[in-house]
Amino acid sequence: MTKRKGIFDVNVDLNVNAFSVPLNRERNSKKDNGITIEQALRIIIRQMEVSGARPRTIYDYELIVGKFQSVTKAEYVLDITNELIYQWLESMNVKNQTKLTRLKCLKAYLGRCFDNGWVQNKFWRNINVKVDQQIKEGATDKDIEMLMSILDFNTFLDLRNGTAVLLMYKTGIRIATLSKLESHHIDLENKTLNLDGKLMKNHKGLKLPFDDQLAYLLNILLQQNEPIRREYRQFNDYVFITNKGEYIGQGITSNAIQKQLNKYTRRYGIKNISPHALRRGFATNLLRKNANINLISRALGHSDLGVTSKYLSIDMEETAIELRDYL
């Protein structure tokens, strides 16, 4: 049976001079370029939100990919090349460590583009930025004792800040986790933090013990929080709140306690009381008490032992002394 001609059948001779350029050339050129960098970013961010990625991580993706696009003028994912990445890196007037951090974020974005099938190979894998690896110092007992001697625990803010510092130093929790702690996460009777996956960067629950000193301070802080919340009509259950009863997170990149620690550093010259230094101090203390690296890694909530090793601020002399015991 022959096909019946109808009103949708068209007879066009593509060899006619008027059509020497194929009709679909323009349309296909746009299609062949694939997805735009911005469209890909929006989809990736939605995927990250569904999987429970931290707001800070999403913020970094938006910031870094946006800056890359602004510098290179690339529009489509398929426009990105090694040459453009090097151009972007060379445009930065920052330390190599900062360049490396930004490069890792861009690589993570491109890795997700690969996973979604928008690029066919990981051409960016061999791009790197050389950085002299310096082990950052962790907080020490001396640093903590100095800060505790300065604070006035009869005032709410110093009580809150001092308790937060001790909790990070003695349990190793991140500032982001501490900010979201609620009273039901604290078991004063058994002296443990019961952290569910929603609080953790790796989304895995964790139990961390704390000592009598912290139990005492946490109990006082929880009692003090109640009249403050009532006064300012705040309805939350956070352990660490502002002096108006609000959530201490003031943005993706900072919070009230972190700003207070920065102030103490400037005012009193105590260098190693940043949230990262407190966390490193916790890890180093465990190592010096002969905890193995697997236990330390679990306590820190790490999924990679390589990351854990960077927290262990043991200098060369200490390493040599400890290795001598095995000769």
Could you read off the pLDDT of 203-215 as tens digits, one per residue?
889 999 999 999 9
Inform me whether the pLDDT recorded for 18 exceeds 80.
Answer: no
Global pTM value: 0.67
Task: Round to whole Å and give the CA distance between 237 and 242.
Answer: 12
**Residue 175 in contact with residue 257, Cβ under 8 Å?**
yes
Question: Of 49-63, 68-82, 312-326, which range is least confident?
Answer: 312-326
Q: Which fold has domain 141-319?
A: hpI Integrase; Chain A (1.10.443)
Question: Of 10-14, 80-84, 243-247, 287-291, which range is least confident?
Answer: 10-14
* Tokens 């066919």, located at residue: 120
- Token digits of residue 64: 């870094």
Alpha-carbon torsion angle 191, 157, 275, 146, nearest 10: -90
Mean pLDDT for 230-256 is 88
Task: Round to whole Å and give the CA distance between 294 and 297.
Answer: 5
Q: What is the pLDDT of residue 325?
A: 63
> For 262, phi and psi rounded to 5 degrees?
-60, -40
Q: What is the pLDDT of residue 255?
A: 85
